[in-house]
Every structure is written in C-alpha cells, then in structure tokens.
Amino acid sequence: MRTSRFVLRCFLSACWTLVNAIYRVIQRVAWLFDGTANELRARERPEQYENSAQVMRILFRFKFDEYLTPANVNDFILLHERFDSPEYVLQDHITLYQVTKNEAIFIEARPGSELWRARDHTPFIMPSQFKFGRKVVRIPISSFWRLADSLGDPKGQVVFLTNTARCGSTLLTQMFEVTNKIIAISEPSALNVLSKMTSKEKITNDLKRLVVATVRVLCKPTSNRELAYVLKLTSPAMQGLPLVAEVFPKARHLFMYRDSLKVAQSLYRLSEELPALKTLFVLGKGSESRLGYCVEAMGMPKDAFKFTLSSDLSVGTMLWGAMVKIYEQFRDAGLDIAAVRYEDIVERPVEAMTAIMRYLDLPENLALMAKSALEFDSQRDTPLASSVLRRHRTVEYSGREKAECDQICDTLDVPHLGQPYLAPGTITTKQNN
C-alpha cells in the first residue's frame, strides 16, 4: 500500500470520526425535543419489549478498513425512523452486525438479500453488511436475550471453523455454502468481540448468556431449510473456543491450516491492500505492546501475540505458529476438534469434503456439490483476490527474515516455515480417507 494512500485513509478516518461525533450530539439534542429520547429510555422496560427495536435509515457510511476494522454503529450516520418489535430482525435479509454489553446491532439489506451468500455479495459478511446495508436496527441487550431465548438453540448442526489465516478457510466456507443446505457465515464481527471479551474479562453468567444469544441469533432459521450452520472465525478469535464449546456442547469444531511459508508470504501481500493490517505491519514492529494494541484495534484478542517483531515474514510466522499451537493445546485439553488441510482439499476435493461431512454428521453426498466452489476465486472482486495480491512482491525466506522466523518457530515449538507439518487429528489426508 502506497504511503500517500495510507495517509489519505487515516485523514479521512479522522474527518469521519469528527463529523460523526458532531452529528450524534446534534441528533441527541433533537431527540430530547421530539420525544425520541423518552422512547429510547422506555424501551429498556420489559413491558416495552414489543416496541424496543429502533429502526434507523443509513444516510452515509465509512470505515477505515471495510474488512478488518470491527463492526460498529458509528460506521454509519443514521436517521431515526421508528420503533418496532425485535422479531422484525428474524427476516432473512436482516443480519447481526455487532453485539456490546448494552445492545445488539443488526443490518437490514434489500428484501430478498442473504448477505452471508458470498456469490452474491462479498466473501465476508461484515463488508457485505457495510456495503449493502440500507438500515440499522438497534435492540437493547435485555430484548436481545429475550429474542434469543425465544429462538432456542439452532435446530441444525452448528460448526465453528477456526484457522491460521490465509489458509483457504474462505474457500471451505464457500464449499459449504454452494450445497444450499448449509448456512455458512464468514467472520461475523460479533464473534471477534466476544472472543476478545473472554480473553480480557472474568467469565460471568452474563458473558456466557451473551455468547449463547449471539450464536442463536446468527444461526436463526431461514427459508432455506438448512441442515447446518458454519460460523467461520478470524484466526485470533479461536482463543474463545473453549467457552463456545462449553455453552454449545453438541457443536462440532474444525481447524484449517496450510503450508506455513505460504501463509506468512500471503499475509504480507494482504497487508499491502488492507489499511488496518498495514498499520499492524508498520506500527506493530519493534514493540510487543504496540503489536498487541494493533491486534486489539481490529477487535481481536492479543494473547497469542507475545513477540517483538522486525521482519515482514515474522507477523505471518507468529500467527501461523500461535494458531497451530493453540489448536494442539485444545486437543490435548480434550476439546473435540479436527484439522483440515488446504492442500488436501485442492488435490482431492470430493474425498476431502466427504471426510469433513462425515465428521460433521452431514450427508456425504453434499461433498460432490461442494466441489463447484473451486471453479472461481473465493475472494474475487475484492482487494483479497489472487489477481490483486499477485501484484505485490513475495518476501523471500532467507537471511534476516529466515533467522527471525526460525527463532519464532523455535519459541513456539513448531516446525520452521516450509517444513512438512501434519496437524494431529487431520481428517482430510489420503490415509484417513
């Protein structure tokens, strides 16, 4: 990413923050006079449940990084329209955008839209919500809990897909999607925030309840008559998996990985396109505390990032090694989680997907349908597309880069970059098939 482009993005972000803050002050004053403020206070009462969802029209929108900056209601300048029932958000074209301790935020798109469908929108749900949203629906947390209680646990199989990043997990998500029997949601921002909460705060009943409510609403029944729900997490968010496994003991868990050198090189190329990741590569080097701050600024837990880095390959090396180690620790602790290797899916897609469907207790005949996702770039028409990332240089694994990456791998007790690695519990290998 060119310096001038990065600086411009920072400047626009600062301008947006200022203008949005001024607008919200004026809006709150206006609400005092037109009675909206009184209605907002009243909706917290249980008897006001049926009228507690605030529907707001999106006037303008801006994010520093549409792919990595956490979802926030301040991504939009909004105009109040009305109050409605929380059940309003159960329609297929309305999806959960973010949760906080005080409220749940939903995005309403055009009727008929299903924003989780990568083929029709973007490969990730948050940028799809940001780009295609027409309205925002805000629900107080007490109403959100009540709504989730009315839904109950998802009727289909729930699958949590974790990964090392840059490993083909977006492709796997879309392989589930094209079966038309599985709702596959890629990197919902709400799960990032909950993972960050579990790493920083004491695990309370309220936090557990928030996790349960979030998963129930993400996995709400749709008109598709789905058999399962796949929730793909960002790689650092997998640190919250033990709590998820505790509150959803029947859920299944997958971990996806690929050749470590490919991951590290790809992550660097990606930083040349995404401003939030570029910030991490620039400001995160040379200081463990700054690195952790940059990770948290993207709404993710920083616990796994305990290094002082200086080279371009080191960020991807650290991420791959830390996620692999966390996966191994989860298995050692008794968590029922299986590994999926990218190379197996590409070389033998039907056999690999058959093994995955079998592990998830889903019909194995879905594997043949899933293969069609390989026919196109899973991140096409985005800054993450292969055609875009190929424009940027490939960092060579040699000299100072190699020395630092090797040291990181030795510290984490994982193989050096490019060395063969077969994660324990891998279900897609030929011998397992």
Which of 133, 59, 123, 122 has its CA nearest to residue 98? 133
Give the integer Cα–Cα distance in Å for 10 and 193: 23
Q: What is the pLDDT along the chain (433 residues), one digit of tens a residue?
A: 667 888 899 999 999 999 999 999 999 999 999 999 999 999 989 899 999 999 999 999 999 999 999 999 999 999 999 999 999 999 999 999 999 999 999 999 999 999 999 888 999 999 999 999 999 999 999 999 999 999 999 999 999 999 999 999 999 999 999 999 999 999 999 998 888 777 777 888 999 999 999 999 999 999 989 999 999 999 988 988 999 999 999 999 999 999 999 999 999 999 999 999 998 888 888 888 888 888 887 767 777 778 889 999 999 999 999 999 999 999 999 999 999 999 999 999 999 999 999 999 999 999 999 999 998 888 877 888 888 898 999 999 999 999 999 999 999 999 999 999 999 999 999 776 5
Give the integer Cα–Cα distance in Å for 419 and 260: 8
Phi, psi of 80 (to 5 degrees): -65, 135
**Widest CA span of the chain, in angstroms?**
71
Number of H helices and E strands in the chain, helices first, is 17, 10
Tell me the whole-structure pTM to 2 decimals.
Answer: 0.95
Give the integer Cα–Cα distance in Å for 128 and 381: 12
